[in-house]
Chain A
Amino acid sequence: MTETSTIDPVTVSVVQGALETIAVEVGYKLMRMAYSSIIRESEDFGAALTDAAGQGLAESAQSIPLQSGPIPGYVKAVLATLARRGDTLRPGDVIMHNDPYGGASHGPDVAFLVPVFHVDQAGLEHLVGFSGTTAHHLDIGAQTPGSCGIVEAIDAYAEGLQFKAIKVYDQGRRNEAVRQMLRDNVRAAEMVVGDMEAQVAASRIGAERMAALVARYGFAEFRAACAAMLDQAERLMRRAIAALPEGSFRAETFIDGYLDDPARSNLALVATVTKQGDTLLVDLTGTAPQVDDRPINMPFHGTVDVAVWLTVRSVLLDTAIHGHVPVNEGLTRPIRIVAPKGCLANPRFPAPTIARFCPGNQLADTVMKALAQAVPGQVSAGIGNLKVIAFSGLQEEGHWVHMEIFEGAYGGRPGQDGMDAVDTLYANTRNNPIEDIESHLPLRVLRYELREDEAGAGQWRGGLGSVREIGFLTDAGTSVEGEGHAHRPWGFLGGGEGVTARLTLRRADGSEEALPSKVPHRAVRAGDRFICHGPAGGGYGDPFRRDPALVLEDVLDGLLSAETARRDYGVAIAGKAVDEAATAALRGAGTP
């Protein structure tokens, strides 16, 4: 807080607005230039600006939290790595980095970072910050095609190429050797390299704009404005934390892990959230030990921290209630995260991490479950987790690779039902239009609807899951990483539990196979199809207190059967109306 007293609040606000505008521009341009649908349709990318030390200053509003959130961590790790090597940053450098033990969220999320320099009036050159982007790449040279569903990688080396603070541009000169190695070692190289070029172009624009901004204000004033901006965000979070009741709040949930493998399944995630004055301690002690040879371990920096921050922010500074909240590192200062070394949430190198997506989102849900005890009016009941499926094949001598994220659902919320069939918590990607998929890939989307009559019952019903069927028009390959097949999303305050997800492979001959939530790469034939039932969220509050009129709405909409209305909600439906007398009798008989 030393520098803030010298700067006026108007300049702070103006600088902050300018930084946000730059971050949005970088994200916008990356999304529009990118080739692969995982970036441009699913929006699985990040864009952010940091100061010279790697403190986050602003992030792009379009990019997803799991991608923008880690960028400051990437920068800090790159700075440390370069320092260890005795290397320095120069204007024109572009750094590539994807080390999950060095800030990266996981290997496929490759960052391109451009250092920003300012020459002051005395002619001295200063490093003032970084403009960076991350994006999920289609393939990073792992053991099987695609960069998801690599669920049998036994260590970090099996997950694909590792880039640790590599200068792909050195003072403006492109490192052709790295580029060539990349082209030779990833599948669908045209696409991957094209996406990377888009990242470099977008990051450079951000760097240019940030340098112009610093030039406009001078480095000292810029730095003071940034410091004040971070302090303001920190105060915002401290006040929100201070309003919580004192105490420690513990929650536990489970991930499937590998359901066909007893030793590696049903693993606990534990979060104990302790409020101390205006700070929070999030202690993950009790979380299951790391799985040494399967990639569901979560990088502490890049996944675990982002999952915790996301949940705390979304619950305590919910933008639907608080309006725009600036995203910068000040927000996370009052939050301390502890996880014992060697647990799922803080693995030891070289434990594999590439499939940490769904466990990390479950961790975010676990933190919400803990916070629910402190602020029951600001949470949702348990969330239905996600699933990613990679589709791939060969066309002539090249690969086609497509990744599709399968949505979950939110639990019921105070005063409203859960959000149906959406991406959840730290992921907020988009599906690909059916008309785009079928126009460009040998796939057919055969069904995309809500899952009927299966949701967490509650005064506020859990969000509904989806049913998606995707068929293969040619022989191809596929792999799956998901969660939520074995453990139901939690109900809250008397609400019922949600519904688990499931995945079926129906072969062309009509035979069916129930699949677990993780499927290593396997061959499929033309005519086979996946039938993917997404999970439904948990219920919030006693279902017998749900307004019978809302139960009727669900019945009329075909989302709830009259039998379920009777059983779960104690509401009798007669024709298109509520039978008031019968309902009173059912409800008088007590809650289920």
Chain B
Amino acid sequence: MRLIGVDVGGTFTDLVLADTGTGRSVIHKVSSTNADPSIGVTQGVVELCARAGIAPAAVDQVLHGTTIATNAVLEHRGAVTGMITTRGYRDVLHIGRHQRPEHYSIQQQIPWQSRPLVKRRHRHVVTERLVPPRGEVLVPLDEAEVRAAARALKADGVEAIAICFLFSYLNPAHELRARAIVQEEYPEAFVTTSAEVAPQFREFERFTTAAMNAFVGPRVRDYVSRLAGRLKEAGVSGDLQVMGSTGGVASVAMVAEQPVLTMLSGPAAGVLGGAWAGALSGRNDLITFDIGGTSADIAIISGGRFGEASARDTWIAGFPLLVPMIDIHTIGAGGGSIARRDAGGAFRVGPQSAGAQPGPAGYGRGGQRPTVTDANIVLGRLDPENFLGGAMALDVAAARRVVGAFADELGLTPEAAALGILTIVNANMANAIRSRTVQKGIDPRGYALVAFGGAGPLQAVEVARMLEGREVLVPPHPGITSAMGLLTTDLSADAVRTCFQLSTALDLPRIADDFAAMEAQIIARFAADALPVETARFTRAADLRYAGQGYELRVAFPADEMADASGLLARFHAQHKAEYGHAFPERPVEIVNLRLTGAIPRPHLGAPPPRAGGSLEEATVRVARVVFGTPAAPEPHETPFLRRELLPVGQPIPGPAIVLQTDSTTVVPPGCTLTAEAGGNLLIAL
């Protein structure tokens, strides 16, 4: 099968074409066309086919990572959105949890108040009320009011409507009826219901998720249909599938209905790419570490499986989001992070970033403040002639000037200041990784750090040292790992139900019924996309907590345990102990949500064909002075600069060394050993 992965970033659109039969892959990069990314994607696909010498019609599938939905939220450019909600609760979306994002700030903005997804004038209330425990109807739905609200919203030019009723996760009947009425009155509108997008309790978070789905809906729907059309025109007849935040892909139809599921499309693809790279080296306990210019994305893969974020911890642009996502932790630390002294004299790096414009001083575009990249230049770790394969010349003098001025402020030498910048940014990253590992009962020392993104391989070894890790892997193409990851995914769909059952009075048949209903729902969705339903695999899980607690832990709940919950409860106690350091086995447990994931396997990107390899002599571009050591004791070393594609395969090379390739630079400090593996990765043993 011939697959194309396309990942759209802010600057570049990365593409990879893989033939799953031969294992051959071809990569390509084009500039992103931000006004309409489908233009760049289509152009890239066509060019890539030409490069690979195949006709566009020979491509079986195009898998796509997109930031359309994310950008619509970040830039607050979405549809004019309306809402129909339960009478008495018009402002749930505005009041939120009545908490300010910042403790110590008078001038802060609250995102849902200063940038509402739905303006109050477009929030209509209707008479209806459901109540727990099962969504019994306390007040029937006033259908005439729904009709009137739909007409009013249509007259006001609203393009998308979220229907959000209290307790709809227990009983979606009122929401579904209201949707039908809205669709009768206003068939062109994009309509979404809260229980369909996020059937879980916590009304502010669920309503916000539904409102966000509506807010981005029309834009995403238009984009995917435009892209599908353009690809067809270009002769690409294969299926288009879009990456979701959980690491599975979905059909264009499904994404058009629930665009909110694609919020972490690109980063999720990166995690999958990291997992793929780990597998090339036979590793499945991994920390994926994707560093770009302004931020670093961190995810943990244990036993080949990545974690899913807790529903309480998922935020986009300051808004809470109640949809499943890979647990990706993003911090404001990257190549462009700016070093400064604060007014108290403390040495800080980031989260402010020089971004792409002006960028680090060393980019020669007028940047005047010292960044992480500038520190790397001062220490000699980036080769001015071979940066990005020679595509960009570095202004070494400018980097030295800004780092030197900063060093004077601190009373340090420029090299000590540069090492200080790296130490601090690396410590920030190591703290972020600790918060995802040590703090959750995972020992990072047994995990390999998979470093990618333009800047990941520059920092990874020193970060891994802080974590007392043993090895770092650098994938074959660190700069396009997300695009590679797109080719390793399965088709997937998720379902969730809130159930609120106590371990002291479990109704297991009801749980089995709920799972069966969710399975039917996913099968129907797959069938609607004409997918081979018979190949679907299902994974069951439940969210549990001790009765009274407010946070749940996700615990596997295999289908053969539907008659006996003792295994489920034992796993919960163990996981509670692992994550929080303590368990309360004598206390009753509450099952809060049931979760089901359906996946249909697809062909995957395989391992690249083994490489013949060159020799150290051939690979060596030059030998130059590079500074390692600590700020207190900088150590210059004569260091070889090596061309990655000419490295000898399987031969351990002692550090220090700098490995060059077109999309990244890998730093191998003294004391560790570099091996170019036949499987395609660089392995650095600490």
Give the B-binding residues of A (Cβ under 8 A).
Answer: 8-10, 12-14, 16-18, 20-21, 24-25, 28-29, 31-37, 40-41, 43, 61, 64-65, 191, 194, 197-198, 201-202, 204-205, 229, 231-237, 239-240, 310, 313-315, 317-321, 323-327, 330, 368, 378-380, 405, 407, 410, 413-414, 416, 419-423, 428-431, 433-436, 438-439, 444, 446-450, 466, 469, 556-559
Contacts and interface: CB of A to CB of B under 8 A. Distances in A.
B435 A25 contact: yes
A551 B551 CA distance: 41
20 contacts: A9-B420, A31-B550, A32-B551, A41-B550, A231-B345, A236-B344, A310-B104, A314-B106, A320-B106, A325-B104, A410-B106, A419-B110, A421-B98, A422-B100, A428-B100, A434-B203, A435-B132, A435-B202, A448-B92, A557-B121
A421 B110 CA distance: 11
Interface string B339-350: 000111111100
Nearest to A310: B104
A28 B310 CA distance: 13
Interface stretch (B296-304, B364-372, B581-589): B581-589
B55 interface: no
Contacts of A413: 106-107
A449 B90 contact: yes
Given A33-B580, A37-B550, A423-B99, A318 B104 contact: yes
A364 B211 CA distance: 36
B166 A434 contact: yes
A321 B107 contact: yes
Given A378-B107, A435-B167, A201 B580 contact: yes
Contacts of A321: 105, 107
Contact of A14 (B88, B419, B423): B423
Contacts of B410: 9
Contacts of B352: 323
B203 A428 contact: no
Contacts of A43: 99
Nearest to B310: A32
Contacts of B587: 194
Contacts of B119: 556-557
> When A and B form their complex, which 6 residue pairs have the shortest distance between CB atoms, in order from nearest?
A236-B344, A40-B550, A35-B548, A232-B344, A201-B582, A557-B120
Interface in B595-614: none
B106 A380 contact: yes
A45 to B, nearest CB: 12
A198 B352 CA distance: 36
B102 to A, nearest CB: 5
Contacts of B90: 449-450
Interface stretch (B378-386, B392-400, B426-434): B426-434
A526 B347 CA distance: 60
A330 B509 CA distance: 59
Q: Is the interface of A mostly helix, strand, loop or mixed?
A: helix
Interface in B163-204: 166-167, 169, 201-204
Given A9-B420, A433-B202, A557-B119, A407 B102 contact: no
B202 A31 contact: no
Contacts of A324: 351
Contacts of B100: 419, 422-423, 428
Contacts of A16: 346
Given A194-B587, A419-B113, A431 B106 contact: no
B634 to A, nearest CB: 12
B538 interface: no
Interface string B65-104: 0000000000000000000000011111011011110111
A556 B123 CA distance: 12
Contacts of A205: 581
A315 B107 CA distance: 9
B566 interface: no
A318 B549 contact: no
B500 interface: yes
Nearest to B352: A323
B504 to A, nearest CB: 13
A109 to B, nearest CB: 17
A378 B105 CA distance: 10
B582 A33 contact: yes
A21 B435 CA distance: 7
Given A240-B343, A321-B107, A420-B113, A34 B550 contact: yes
A462 B673 CA distance: 63
A559 B410 CA distance: 53
Contacts of B102: 319-320
A33 B580 CA distance: 7
Given A314-B106, A447-B89, A10 B420 contact: yes
Contacts of A428: 99-100, 103
